[in-house]
Amino acid sequence: MKTINHRGDKVIFSFKRRLIIASVSITTVLALISWAAIFSETHHEIEEIYDARLGQSAKILALSVPHMLKEPEETRAKAYANWYQDIEQFDDDDAASPFGHPYEKNLMFQFYQQEKIVIKSPGAPETLIGYPGLSGFTQTTINDEEWRRFQIQLPALLVGDQPAYLVVAERLTVRNELIGEIALSTAIPQLALIAAIAVAIILLTNKFFQPIKELREAIADRHINHLAEITVSQPTVELAPLVSQLNYLLSELDKAWQREKRLTRTAAHELKTPLSVLRLNTENALVALSGGHRKELESDLQQILKGIDRTDRLIQQLLMLSKIEAHHQYHLAKCDIADILREVIATMAPLALRNQQSLELRCTDALPLNGHALLLSALFSNLIDNAIRYAGRAANITVTAQFTGPNIVINVNDSGLPIPPDIRDKIFEKFFRAHTERGDGAGLGMSIVRDIANLHNGEIRLLAASSGNGNTFQVILPAVNSQ
């Protein structure tokens, strides 16, 4: 669910804040549930203890009633009155005395027979607080206060044939006061515990989120000119994959940025000369045109056409180089080398015929492999184009392709002059031009051929020159099962 403010914008939430709030809330709820359970159990136990004391007091009094009945009524009342007066002499209502405790005012009893009170405690009302025939624990209201009472019927052997009852009552405020004090005494530690846990959660969350803060700062420090690898001083299992992926993206971005800068510098450098030559030839053509020099005009126009061809070829090579360096964008699929070679040779045949050269293909019907058809077409186009350009007029160019073990081996042979030994080792380097005197090419064709071969897990090499065999470039590519 997305949070949206009143303007309709998405509001970014804090995961750390939500985690803290959720943790503290859960802790608080659990603590309150625990406190409620303790309170409930305490309330139940106190009720049981006080009820047991009330029942026990009633039974003890019941045993002493026969003896008390033998005494005159004035004597019984006076004895109780003296005890209460002795207790009330003490100022502290919460402290015990040698004569009892002030809380005895919260207790009362009545012994009655035939609904007439025979004996009662000094604080008991003159009216009955019990009901004949009613036994056990009940609650009643006396003087607008809630009391807990317990009534028993005395055995006939103690009081005779007339039914007699003893009822003992206790003011509920005593119990409620004790329950409240226990609840408060347990609630204060619980609240203190919740506060302590909240502080601990905040401190621990800030500590555990420190690697995320460090990662955020490291990412914020990165820019196009600073794409160094990100490191976290305290890596975690959760952050490690994220950091690894970010470093991979930064590495790819840096490579792309370097390719872009390299391509820009290369294009600026390589296009500077042909554009200057085109400008010069155009100026010469204009001069020849104004002077009426037809031959000079034709020569200058021919040079302009050559310059355009060279610039076009350079641009195509630069674009191809850019595509090759971004090879991860290509998906290799099953294709046929034989079909690719036929299409390339059909395209290059007019150039060979213009130079009175023979261009021959020798291969089996099908040579399947996993590759990129357009890139492989560029590879063989460059090799055959170089052979046509540098083998010389009336040269023989032969392309052979066949299975050799698990590989497909393609040889492009021309009958031209062998490449000098000092050039053979450098021919696959970028921007190396073996025929600088001819002024064409940018030295990228053979490096592109090598990069395409590497992209297909293959290799290219210039075979050693032998007498009368000219030059042979050999491409080795892994084949796939044709079945």
The residue among 256 and 108 whose pLDDT is bigger is 108
**pLDDT attached to residue 412:** 94
Q: How far is Cα 449 from Cα 473, in angstroms, rounded to an integer?
A: 11
Q: Which of 91, 95, 114, 115 is nearest to 103 (CA)?
A: 95
Same-domain status, 340 and 454: yes
pLDDT single digits (tens) 155-193: 776 767 778 888 999 888 888 888 888 888 888 888 888
Report which secondary-structure segment, H or E, holds 472. Answer: strand 471-478
Same-domain status, 369 and 403: yes
Same-domain status, 320 and 339: no
Same-domain status, 269 and 396: no
Same-domain status, 284 and 425: no
**pLDDT attached to residue 397:** 93
Tokens 């309330």 locate to 43
Same-domain status, 444 and 350: yes
Mean pLDDT of the chain: 79
Determine the structural domain holding residue 109 and report its residue range: 15-184
Same-domain status, 403 and 462: yes
Same-domain status, 32 and 101: yes
Domain boundary among 156, 184, 212: 184
Same-domain status, 348 and 474: yes
Q: Which two tokens stand for residue 65?
A: 């009633």
**Residue 222, C-beta contacts closer than 8 angstroms, at least 6 positions apart:** 228, 230, 250
**pLDDT attached to residue 142:** 86
What is the pTM assigned to this prediction?
0.47
Same-domain status, 449 and 324: no
**pLDDT attached to residue 410:** 94
pLDDT single digits (tens) 118-162: 888 877 888 888 888 888 898 888 888 898 999 988 877 676 777
1 — pLDDT class (breaks 50, 70, 90): very low
- Asked whether residue 218 is assigned to any structural domain, the reply reads no
Number of domains forming the structure of the chain: 3
* Most confident among 135-139, 411-415, 430-434 (mean pLDDT): 411-415
Question: Does position 2 have pLDDT exceeding 60, yes or no?
Answer: no
Same-domain status, 336 and 443: yes
